[in-house]
């Protein structure tokens, strides 16, 4: 086994393998297995910024600047401690980052600051710029929200009042609201619209976010954009529209996620269409949607984003994206990742949580 020594630290090439067995996040939350962004992906992504090893628990040797009050930067500054033999240390850093990048490529992700070249699509995949099977949004969607950290977009959301956003609870499993910024009302995730910070995060009180995967964000200041009203619960067959900036193809990486908001027309399906081999949906609090015929549907990065119904008065909100229906690969398809190949998405039924939403907002007034 090859090793690279730099002072007391040793980087083992063997540690570039997947980190799930070492990750406390993996052990803590098995429900991530049926979510588009699994713990191993996040654990390996974070180490490009937080340290040498692609596995959690390594000594922290770097830092990144806090978000400014304006736009969100996807660039990351990596600083290392001074060490004897500066040239050797720099070479070790480059090799460590390269090995970490290999680990990320194995998992289908790359870090923007680690690799300059785009990642080619996996065999069987396509280099697309849309929600799987979607198209550039025609908008406007004044209520559409991009949740971002210094690494970029990570989830979607919907503005439901001038100062409150509804999103997915699981978006905050490993993130802190003080590290995030929201871009509201823009079709692009990198510019335009209005930016706000989070004053308060309120997750649904149920302990497990699997079937109550919903959270509310109170903005630090109101915004002038028109919010989206909540719909009433709708039956199977209702035409709907999905919005998001998420992954564009099965097995895609960060380089494949679109800058322009994507939209996809679909319909509410019967609950049994979203029968999940990992975690079943709850018809009392969730909605099944997607296009199984074309395998067009939501993927990671779309979490928290809206499921909408068009009315004569405008859009109404039905759901917030929670997770996908996990399905085995078709013949000839790659074995991983399994999550986005079915085209079926499970959304939290937002109207079913209306009473809780109203109680949170009224108590904070």
For the full predicted model, state whether its pTM sits above 0.85.
Answer: no
**Mean pLDDT, each 10-residue run in order, the chain (365 residues):** 36 34 34 42 36 32 33 28 38 43 34 28 32 80 96 95 97 93 95 96 80 95 95 96 85 74 94 76 91 82 95 97 78 62 85 97 89
Residue 296 tokens, joined: 């067009």
- What's the rounded Cα separation, in Å, for the pair 353 and 365? 19
212 assigned to active site? no
Residue 119 tokens, joined: 């990642």
What is the tens place of the pLDDT at every residue in 249-304?
A: 666 666 667 899 999 999 999 998 887 656 778 999 999 998 877 878 888 889 99
Q: Residue 5, CB half-sphere, CA atoms under 13 Å: how many?
A: 2
Phi-psi region of 143 (alpha: psi -120 to 50; beta: other; left: phi over 0): alpha
Catalytic residue chosen out of the listed positions 100, 142, 209, 303:
303
Catalytic residue chosen out of the listed positions 37, 170, 212, 353:
170
Residue appearing with tokens 């850093």: 93
213 assigned to active site? yes
Enter the CATH code of domain 125-365.
2.40.10.10
Instruction: Looking at 3-73, list the stretches that DSSP marks H as alpha helix, in order from N- to C-terminal side.
Output: 24-28, 39-50
Secondary element (H or E) of residue 4: strand 3-6
* DSSP states along 258-295: -SB-EEEEEEEE-GGGG--SSS---TTTEEEEEBTTTT
For CATH 2.40.10.10, list the domain ranges present in the chain: 125-365
- What's the rounded Cα separation, in Å, for the pair 258 and 130? 6
Beta bridge partners of 309: 316
Secondary element (H or E) of residue 357: helix 354-363
What is the tens place of the pLDDT at every residue in 135-178?
A: 888 879 999 999 999 989 999 999 999 999 999 999 999 899 99
Catalytic residue chosen out of the listed positions 34, 173, 213, 349:
213
- What's the rounded Cα separation, in Å, for the pair 291 and 300? 16
């Amino acid at each position: 086994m090859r090793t690279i020594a730099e002072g007391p630290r040793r980087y083992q090439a063997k540690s570039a393998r997947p980190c799930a067995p070492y990750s406390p996040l993996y052990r803590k939350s098995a429900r991530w297995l049926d979510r588009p962004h699994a713990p191993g992906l996040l654990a390996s992504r974070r180490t490009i910024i937080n340290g040498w090893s692609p596995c959690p628990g390594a000594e922290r040797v770097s830092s990144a600047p806090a978000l400014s009050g304006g736009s969100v930067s996807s660039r990351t500054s990596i600083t290392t401690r001074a060490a004897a033999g500066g040239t050797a240390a720099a070479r070790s850093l480059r090799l460590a980052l390269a090995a970490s990048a290999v680990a990320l490529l194995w998992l289908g992700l790359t870090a923007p600051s680690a690799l300059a070249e785009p990642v080619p699509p996996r065999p069987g995949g396509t280099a697309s710029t849309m929600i799987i099977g979607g198209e550039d949004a025609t908008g406007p969607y004044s209520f559409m929200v991009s949740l971002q950290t210094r690494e970029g977009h990570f989830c979607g959301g919907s503005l439901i009042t001038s100062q409150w956003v509804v999103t997915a609870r699981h978006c905050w499993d490993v993130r802190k609201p003080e590290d995030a910024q929201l871009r509201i009302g823009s079709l692009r995730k990198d510019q335009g619209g209005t930016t706000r910070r989070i004053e308060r995060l309120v997750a649904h009180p149920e302990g497990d976010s699997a079937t109550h995967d919903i959270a509310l964000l109170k903005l630090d200041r109101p915004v002038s954009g028109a919010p989206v009203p909540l719909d009433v619960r709708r039956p199977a067959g209702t035409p709907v529209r999905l919005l998001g900036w998420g992954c564009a193809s099965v097995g895609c990486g960060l380089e494949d996620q679109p800058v322009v908001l994507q939209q996809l027309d679909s319909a509410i399906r019967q609950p049994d269409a979203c029968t999940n081999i990992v975690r079943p949906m709850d018809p009392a609090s969730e909605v099944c949607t997607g296009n199984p015929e074309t395998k067009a549907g939501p993927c990671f990065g779309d979490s928290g984003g809206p499921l909408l119904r068009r009315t004569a008065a405008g859009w109404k909100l039905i759901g917030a994206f929670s997770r996908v229906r996990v399905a085995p690969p078709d013949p000839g398809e790659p074995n991983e990742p399994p999550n986005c190949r079915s085209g079926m998405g499970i959304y939290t039924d937002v109207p079913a949580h209306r009473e809780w939403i109203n109680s949170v907002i009224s108590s904070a007034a």
